[in-house]
Chains A and B, each alone.
Chain A
Amino acid sequence: MNDAGASVLRARGLRKEYGRGAGLVRAVDHVDLDVASGETVAVTGPSGCGKSTLLHLLGLLDRPSGGELWLAGERLDQKGERALARARRRSIGFVFQAFHLMDELSAVENVELPALLAGRSPRTARRQATALLGRVGLTDRARFLPSALSGGQRQRVAIARALVSEPAVVLADEPTGNLDSQSTLDVLRLFEKLHEAGQTLVIVTHDSRIAATADRLIAMRDGAFVDETRLTGGTSGNLGALAGLGGPGVSDRHEHEG
């Protein structure tokens, strides 16, 4: 494993361009990023700001037009397809908005699939998958097909699947985009548990609830990072005021209105 605080993921001047000449689009425009081991980073921004493209570059699903990319200490931007596929299998777990589960396979079979593909024995793979389903609170749904599960349950299966290869980093693309409020809360609780267990997470999202619970929040616009925030320091005590229960900050400044 990495030393505490070491970069699991590192990008320097990372670029992705489409088209040419007047039609050139800089989807990702010279991005520098360091994600420390155990950190949860959220990248937010409007549709079309390049955040999904960035996630595809970081996840080795797409090749950058330029720049450097390291994953778990290994430089990967100039590697061949086979090396990329291997790094993807070993070091990255993906969670997508649309879950991408195999409809014909049960929950536990979906989760164990990456472990089997990585060459583990069926017994080991099943044991790991069963343990992970327990971790996401779905032990009693292990034999269910995805079609028999709710959206929130499917996403928890997808998260268990992302974890089965013990990846250095989990990359999530709008993981709560298709979920109702309660399921979103379940997924957020799950991410919190992973965070406490030291899992490194990078999430791109529209959802300000996820953004607000990350260690670090990066705002992206036109392919570039424009703002970075660490939301440390609480405002506890003001929640009551937000609900209309009075408290500091709500009763002042009523002069000269109307």
Chain B
Amino acid sequence: MQQEVVLAMLAKEPSHGYQLRARLRQALGPLGDAMNDGQVYVTLTRLEKAGLVESQSAAGLPDRPDRKVYVLTAAGHQRVAGWLSEVSWPRPDLAEFHLKLIAAAAAGLADPLSIVDAQRHELLRRLRDAQRAAMAEPDGSAAGLLLEGIVLRLQADLRWLEACERNWTPRRNRS
């Protein structure tokens, strides 16, 4: 489990570990089934050690991880903000990007559409480079075939971003 994802899910409000897990489950659907229940707690413990979250035990309850309420520290907030604005390609981690949009919207920390825009600009720059390199290759060149593969992948990524954009665009009122 990536630390930033857990941090960003906490940015909305102080939460119990099981609430975070439920949010992740909801965001990931069947893909979240592979997630081990213990992972969230392991990550939370690490984050606490790193000073990015603090925990409070509810009064009168035994001091167990699943009873604690976790809160972001100032350093945690900073880390989340940095993560939201960072453009993480070529690492093709769809789930991370997906969770970033969900966390940004839930916590009101950033406009998901501006994150999509930044990502699209970056992908288009890469597509431009790949396309220009492909155009410079003679027909039938071996390198041209590899470049075509890169171009097709980037196009697929861009199409998914279009879908993200549609999903996160508030419907404009049309009279």
Give A residues with C-beta under 8 Å from B: 22, 24-26, 46, 181-182, 185, 188-189, 192, 208-209, 211-213, 217, 221-222, 227, 229, 231, 233-236, 238-239, 241-243, 249-250, 253, 255-257
B84 at interface (Cβ–Cβ under 8 A)? no
Q: Please give, as numbers and ranges, the residues of chain A lying within 8 Å of B150 by CB-CB distance.
A: 239, 242-243
Query: Which secondary structure characterizes the binding site on chain B?
Result: helix
Partner of A241, one of B90, B121, B125, B148: B90
Are B166 and A46 neighbours in the complex by a CB distance under 8 Å?
A: yes
Q: Is the CB of B172 within 8 A of A213?
A: no
Contact residue among B90, B125, B135, B169 (Cβ-Cβ distance under 8 Å from A189)? B135
10 contacts between A and B (CB under 8 A): A208-B124, A211-B124, A212-B124, A222-B172, A222-B174, A231-B121, A235-B129, A236-B129, A243-B146, A257-B2
Shortest distance from the beta carbon of A204 to any chain B beta carbon, whole Å: 15
CA distance A46 to B169 in the complex (A): 13
Contact for A242 among B46, B90, B155, B172, CB less than 8 A: B90
Q: A213-B128, A227-B117, A236-B129 are in contact. Are A249 and B90 (CB under 8 A)?
A: yes
A-B contact count (CB 8 A): 89
Decide yes or no: A182 and B90 within 8 Å by CB, A24-B175, A188-B131, A235-B129 being known contacts: no
Main secondary structure of the interface of A (DSSP, over half): mixed
When distances are taken between beta carbons in the complex, the residues of chain B under 8 Å from A236 are: 129
Question: CB within 8 A of A238: which of B90, B139, B149, B169?
Answer: B90
Q: Assess whether B134 is interfacial by the CB under 8 Å rule.
A: yes
